[in-house]
Amino acid sequence: MHIRTIIRKISVLCLCMTFSYVSAQRYEAEHGDFYSVRMASDQGGYSADGYVEFLSYDESSVGISVTVPADGLYSVVLRVLAVPGQAVSSRVKVECDESTYVCSQRLPPLGQFGNVQVNAPVQLIKGSHVFYITGLGGKWMLDYIELNSVSGGQVSKINFSPLVTAHPSKEAQSLYAYLCSMRGKGILSGQQIYSRTPEIKAIADITGEYPAVLGIDFIDYSPSRVAFGTHGSTTQEALKCWESGGIVSACWHWNAPAGLINKNEPDKHWYDGFRTTATTFDFVKGLDDHGSEEYKLMLRDIDVIAGQLKILQKAGVPVLWRPLHEASGGWFWWGAKGKDNYIRLYKLVFDRLQNYHKLNNLIWVWNGQNPEWYPGDEYADIVSYDVYPDKREYSAHTDKLSLLQSCTEHPKLLAFSENGTLPDIEKLAAECAPWSYFCTWDGEFAVNKQGKYSGTYTDEETFKRYYADDYVITRGELPDFRNK
């Protein structure tokens, strides 16, 4: 067992300590400094003199001065009223002293004032501080904030929701529990492949390690590609990875079920069928009319992929499952008809796999890239972002952290489900950033035409240094999820 693994096991034990809240201090929002917000008293149920109303545009905020009696860890409670039925969901960002990012999250549409606990506590020193509560969208009201001193240690315990899959397999539960326990303790290394594994060998050749996560794509199982002669092989690669002690992540560049333009023009070939530019397929017609050919074809395609997922389920393989990714960009057909239709399609995929096929090995990874496209906490276990910075531009992507956390009402795991250049692992480690894994995309992002490590996006020395960093978890450091 790696010494790094032993240290992490000790850290996980510390993480599982139980905390209690021993005191509370309340600070009224109307006593703060206003930035594009207004004081109001139209709604009933507030305390003291009134509340602060956040308007529907971004970045309005209030600065609230607080004084804490002692050094320690503090939870933050917001007493808010988020208006039901708003076209834009209400979201909030919490910062402290203009330099400490605390958390972002979606506010539940309560319809009356109620308490919402911020998803992450903050470490404060004795004395005065200013909390900045910033609106990220939607109309909502803030009555006050409340600080609660947390006893029991310096590490926060996050209570994650159970898996959204009904009756999940023991392997899926084991993997999910591990990912939850490792929040802020390390980031799993990952690598995407297409249909073979030169990337994995190239990584092992220069680092002596294998990535913890193997990313696969079910693209070539799409029936409209099979009709042109493709033959998917990534399910077999996933089985090999699992038997070797790795974790499987799967996406699906869904070639449109029909309506392929197939012209000899850029982004219009049959093999570009997942692109908006390459198909005339109208999935909204299918969603609106369950007797339509479009609906039948969508179910046919989903069922084909379900067959591959069932092969993995039978072998006991849990899957970090990321369907309908990058939707809000509009470059894929499933995102070309707006967020409401995308969410309807996402829920169709979820329902078909969950309730019709009874798949129990899936950990659902949502990757719409925009909080307004989020289907809801009951449809995702992990929220993720695909990052492609410039070549050799290493970043901690704190803005993406805030964006993803603002998607959900309750804490969810976070991931870089795709990346070109690697994130700045050293900064992530210094900040104990709660990213579960990264997954470098295939081809030029990892290897050259000779199948050797390319260094084009992440230079070789940086790559080797990152893979050797204590914060990066490789395959050899994973527990055995198969025997738990």
Burial classification of residue 164, based on how many CB atoms lie within 10 Å of its CB (0-12 exposed, 13-18 middle, 19 or more buried):
middle
pLDDT attached to residue 11: 41
Radius of gyration of the chain (CA): 23
Q: Pick out the chain residues at pLDDT < 70.
A: 1-23, 56-58, 86-88, 151-157, 483-484
| Structure-token pair, residue 325 | 């990714």
Residue entry with tokens 């315990």: 157
- 129-150 confidence digits (pLDDT tens): 999 999 988 889 999 999 998 8
Residues 6+ apart with CB under 8 A from 350: 364, 375, 379
What's the rounded Cα separation, in Å, for the pair 17 and 303? Answer: 43
Contact 451, 202 (CB under 8 A): yes
What's the rounded Cα separation, in Å, for the pair 327 and 358? Answer: 25
**Dihedral (CA of 118, 122, 127, 130) sign:** negative
| Structure-token pair, residue 114 | 């109620």
- With residues binned 3-state (H G I as helix, E B as strand, rest as coil), the percentages for the chain, rounded to 5, are 30, 30, 40
Contact 53, 40 (CB under 8 A): yes
Going from the C-alpha of 377 to that of each of 111, 182, 345, 374, the distances in angstroms are 19, 21, 16, 8
Beta bridge partners of 440: 191, 419
What's the rounded Cα separation, in Å, for the pair 345 and 333? Answer: 11
Residues 6+ apart with CB under 8 A from 36: 55, 57, 59, 60, 61
Beta bridge partners of 28: 144
- Pure H helices in 386-450: 398-405, 425-431
Contact 202, 242 (CB under 8 A): no
Contact 49, 28 (CB under 8 A): yes
Phi, psi of 348, rounded to the nearest 5 degrees: -65, -45
Beta bridge partners of 261: none
| Structure-token pair, residue 416 | 């870089």
Burial classification of residue 72, based on how many CB atoms lie within 10 Å of its CB (0-12 exposed, 13-18 middle, 19 or more buried):
middle
Longest C-alpha distance within the chain, in Å? 71
| Structure-token pair, residue 287 | 């969603």
pLDDT attached to residue 195: 79
pLDDT attached to residue 87: 55
| Structure-token pair, residue 2 | 């790696």
Strand positions, DSSP E, 61-202: 61-68, 72-82, 91-96, 100-106, 114-117, 122-124, 127-137, 140-151, 187-188, 190-192
Of 389, 292, 320, the C-alpha closest to 165 is 320
| Structure-token pair, residue 312 | 């993995």
pLDDT attached to residue 55: 79
| Structure-token pair, residue 218 | 């079910």
What's the rounded Cα separation, in Å, for the pair 120 and 43? Answer: 28
Tell me which residues are annotated as active site: 326, 418
**Dihedral (CA of 258, 262, 267, 270) sign:** positive
Beta bridge partners of 135: 92
Element holding 177 (H helix, E strand): helix 170-181
